[in-house]
Amino acid sequence: MTEPRVALVTGGARGIGAAVARRLHAQGRRVVLADLLTTEAEALADELDGHAYRCDVTDSDGVRDMVSAIETDLGPVDVLVNCAGFDRFVRFVDTDEDFWDTIIDINYKGTLRTCHAVLPGMTERGWGRIVNFASDAARGGSSLESVYAGAKAGVIGFTKTIARETVKKGVTCNVVCPGPTDTTLIREMGEQGELPAKIVGGLDRAMPIGRMAQPDEIAYGATVFTHDDALFITGQTLSVSGGLTMA
């Protein structure tokens, strides 16, 4: 029997990342969770008969060391889903360079770091699936999310480019752009003041479908791209937003 392919999910301890991990497990993958929330990640890994590693995606050496440890312990990483992310609702004129650096380091450069660590092995073996999470904020703009939207737009452009670079190597690279989703992160963002609370409170009404997504509904889009039969789907950007963004 062929060994299950190893699937690494960053930000996999909760929210969309955890939902992606569950769907990858159902797809027959050997799931590895990478997160700073080690207690939650280990609990989910136990549930999925998987593995958890502590990882800070802003630490280049740490990312490389984690991938090396996974390869030693479990085998090569054939599927990478980048869900790790961070944001806060704030007007652009009220931000500073420290805030810019934090948002870009996690949401954009974090994706670059993990892809840089796994892509050489994928191309050498002639098989790989990469799914990078961006956001519908990157496609249509989103009030109080200017820096985040810019970072996620960078993820889209980056992913399309590496898709072109790896298309003849058996590796696919795609993007999922969630719309507003009922996660711990968005609830935390709504607690940052009166205006953020108003925005989060109105999200259900703003959605054409009438409510925010649940994490599992977003995760389904990601696992379409990770399927063994998805070789001809690469360089694509999929909005999973209940009709909020159509393109």
Is 191 a domain residue?
no
For residue 1, the model assigns a pLDDT of 55
d(CA 101, CA 61): 18
DSSP string, 208-238: TTSSPBPHHHHHHHHHHHTSTT-TT--S-EE
For residue 225, the model assigns a pLDDT of 99
Phi and psi torsions of 23, nearest 5°: -70, -35
Is 69 a domain residue?
yes
The per-residue pLDDT for range 125-151, each reduced to its tens digit, is 999 999 999 999 999 998 899 999 999
Report whether 245 contacts 179 (CB < 8 A).
Answer: yes
| pLDDT of 104 over the 60 cut | yes
Number of domains in the chain: 1
Average pLDDT value for residue range 84-111: 97
Is 47 a domain residue?
yes
Is 195 a domain residue?
no
159 lies in which domain range? 6-182+215-238
Q: Given the residues 53, 108, 148, 220, select the one marked as catalytic.
A: 148
Tokens of 74: 């479990």
The residue among 89 and 77 whose pLDDT is bigger is 77
Q: Examine the residue annotation and report whether 148 is marked as an active-site residue of this protein.
A: yes
Is 141 a domain residue?
yes
The per-residue pLDDT for range 204-246, each reduced to its tens digit, is 788 888 888 899 999 999 999 999 999 999 999 999 998 888 8
The per-residue pLDDT for range 9-53, each reduced to its tens digit, is 999 999 999 999 999 999 999 999 999 999 999 999 999 999 999
Is 159 a domain residue?
yes
Is 46 a domain residue?
yes
For residue 222, the model assigns a pLDDT of 94
Is 103 a domain residue?
yes
| pLDDT of 114 over the 80 cut | yes
CATH code of 141's domain: 3.40.50.720
The per-residue pLDDT for range 167-191, each reduced to its tens digit, is 999 999 999 999 888 887 777 777 7
The per-residue pLDDT for range 87-100, each reduced to its tens digit, is 999 999 999 999 99
Q: Estimate to the nearest angstrom the gap between the alpha carbon of 88 and the chain centroid.
A: 17
Residue listed under structure tokens 């507003």: 180
DSSP state of 181: B
Residue listed under structure tokens 């990770």: 226
For residue 183, the model assigns a pLDDT of 82
For residue 192, the model assigns a pLDDT of 72
pLDDT bin (cut points 50, 70, 90) of residue 70 is: very high
